[in-house]
Structure 1
Amino acid sequence: MPRPPAELRKLEEEARRRARAHRRVRWGRRLRVGLWIVGGATLVVALALLARLAGFSLG
Protein backbone atom coordinates (compact mmCIF):
# COMPACT_ATOMS: atom_id res chain seq x y z
CA MET A 1 0.00 0.00 0.00
CA PRO A 2 1.53 3.36 -0.99
CA ARG A 3 2.31 5.95 1.66
CA PRO A 4 0.25 9.13 1.89
CA PRO A 5 1.90 12.26 0.40
CA ALA A 6 2.06 13.99 3.80
CA GLU A 7 4.03 11.09 5.26
CA LEU A 8 6.39 11.08 2.27
CA ARG A 9 7.02 14.81 2.74
CA LYS A 10 7.79 14.25 6.43
CA LEU A 11 10.23 11.46 5.59
CA GLU A 12 11.96 13.58 2.93
CA GLU A 13 12.21 16.56 5.29
CA GLU A 14 13.69 14.34 8.01
CA ALA A 15 16.28 13.01 5.54
CA ARG A 16 17.21 16.56 4.46
CA ARG A 17 17.48 17.67 8.10
CA ARG A 18 19.77 14.76 8.95
CA ALA A 19 21.96 15.45 5.89
CA ARG A 20 22.31 19.13 6.88
CA ALA A 21 23.22 18.19 10.45
CA HIS A 22 25.80 15.69 9.20
CA ARG A 23 27.39 18.34 6.95
CA ARG A 24 27.59 20.74 9.91
CA VAL A 25 29.31 18.09 12.02
CA ARG A 26 31.80 17.34 9.24
CA TRP A 27 32.64 21.02 8.68
CA GLY A 28 32.99 21.58 12.41
CA ARG A 29 35.47 18.72 12.62
CA ARG A 30 37.46 20.10 9.67
CA LEU A 31 37.50 23.54 11.25
CA ARG A 32 38.80 22.16 14.56
CA VAL A 33 41.55 20.18 12.82
CA GLY A 34 42.53 23.24 10.79
CA LEU A 35 42.66 25.42 13.89
CA TRP A 36 44.86 22.87 15.69
CA ILE A 37 47.26 22.80 12.72
CA VAL A 38 47.42 26.61 12.52
CA GLY A 39 47.84 26.88 16.29
CA GLY A 40 50.62 24.30 16.32
CA ALA A 41 52.46 25.98 13.46
CA THR A 42 52.13 29.37 15.17
CA LEU A 43 53.54 27.91 18.39
CA VAL A 44 56.52 26.40 16.54
CA VAL A 45 57.26 29.71 14.80
CA ALA A 46 56.98 31.63 18.08
CA LEU A 47 59.34 29.22 19.85
CA ALA A 48 61.83 29.43 16.97
CA LEU A 49 61.77 33.23 17.11
CA LEU A 50 62.26 33.20 20.89
CA ALA A 51 65.17 30.79 20.51
CA ARG A 52 66.75 33.10 17.92
CA LEU A 53 66.29 36.07 20.25
CA ALA A 54 67.95 34.08 23.04
CA GLY A 55 70.97 33.54 20.80
CA PHE A 56 70.47 29.96 19.66
CA SER A 57 71.36 29.12 16.07
CA LEU A 58 68.60 27.19 14.33
CA GLY A 59 70.17 25.89 11.18
Structure 2
Amino acid sequence: MTAPAAIKQADMRRLAAIANDHAMTIEVEADGKVYRFIPGIHNTRPQEDQAVDLGKGIRA
Protein backbone atom coordinates (compact mmCIF):
# COMPACT_ATOMS: atom_id res chain seq x y z
CA MET A 1 0.00 0.00 0.00
CA THR A 2 1.29 3.46 -0.83
CA ALA A 3 1.65 6.33 1.60
CA PRO A 4 -0.95 9.11 1.44
CA ALA A 5 0.06 12.16 -0.55
CA ALA A 6 1.33 15.20 1.36
CA ILE A 7 -0.59 17.49 -1.01
CA LYS A 8 -3.54 16.28 -3.06
CA GLN A 9 -3.31 16.61 -6.83
CA ALA A 10 -6.38 18.86 -6.96
CA ASP A 11 -4.77 21.22 -4.44
CA MET A 12 -1.56 21.25 -6.46
CA ARG A 13 -3.47 22.21 -9.59
CA ARG A 14 -5.29 25.01 -7.75
CA LEU A 15 -2.04 26.40 -6.36
CA ALA A 16 -0.35 26.21 -9.76
CA ALA A 17 -3.27 28.05 -11.38
CA ILE A 18 -3.10 30.81 -8.75
CA ALA A 19 0.67 31.13 -9.21
CA ASN A 20 0.23 31.45 -12.98
CA ASP A 21 -2.73 33.83 -12.82
CA HIS A 22 -1.03 36.22 -10.40
CA ALA A 23 2.58 35.74 -11.61
CA MET A 24 3.80 34.94 -8.12
CA THR A 25 5.60 32.10 -6.39
CA ILE A 26 3.61 30.12 -3.83
CA GLU A 27 5.40 28.09 -1.16
CA VAL A 28 3.72 25.35 0.88
CA GLU A 29 5.25 23.25 3.66
CA ALA A 30 3.79 19.77 4.24
CA ASP A 31 5.28 16.88 6.18
CA GLY A 32 8.59 18.72 6.60
CA LYS A 33 9.03 19.30 2.87
CA VAL A 34 8.71 22.60 1.01
CA TYR A 35 6.82 22.71 -2.28
CA ARG A 36 7.14 25.76 -4.53
CA PHE A 37 4.77 26.63 -7.33
CA ILE A 38 6.60 28.98 -9.69
CA PRO A 39 4.84 30.55 -12.67
CA GLY A 40 6.19 30.11 -16.18
CA ILE A 41 8.47 32.70 -17.74
CA HIS A 42 5.82 33.72 -20.28
CA ASN A 43 3.69 35.22 -17.49
CA THR A 44 4.57 38.80 -16.66
CA ARG A 45 3.26 41.21 -14.08
CA PRO A 46 1.70 44.48 -15.24
CA GLN A 47 4.20 47.32 -15.33
CA GLU A 48 4.11 49.84 -12.49
CA ASP A 49 2.91 52.61 -14.81
CA GLN A 50 0.03 50.53 -16.25
CA ALA A 51 -3.30 50.59 -14.44
CA VAL A 52 -5.33 47.42 -14.87
CA ASP A 53 -9.04 47.11 -14.18
CA LEU A 54 -9.20 43.44 -13.14
CA GLY A 55 -12.98 43.46 -13.06
CA LYS A 56 -13.36 44.19 -16.77
CA GLY A 57 -9.87 43.46 -18.10
CA ILE A 58 -9.54 47.01 -19.46
CA ARG A 59 -6.19 48.76 -19.40
CA ALA A 60 -6.23 52.47 -18.63
> What TM-score do the two structures reach when normalised by structure 1?
0.37
Q: Decide which structure has greater helix share.
A: 1
By relative contact order (CA 8 Å, sep 6+), the higher-ranking structure is: 2
Q: Decide which structure has greater strand share.
A: 2
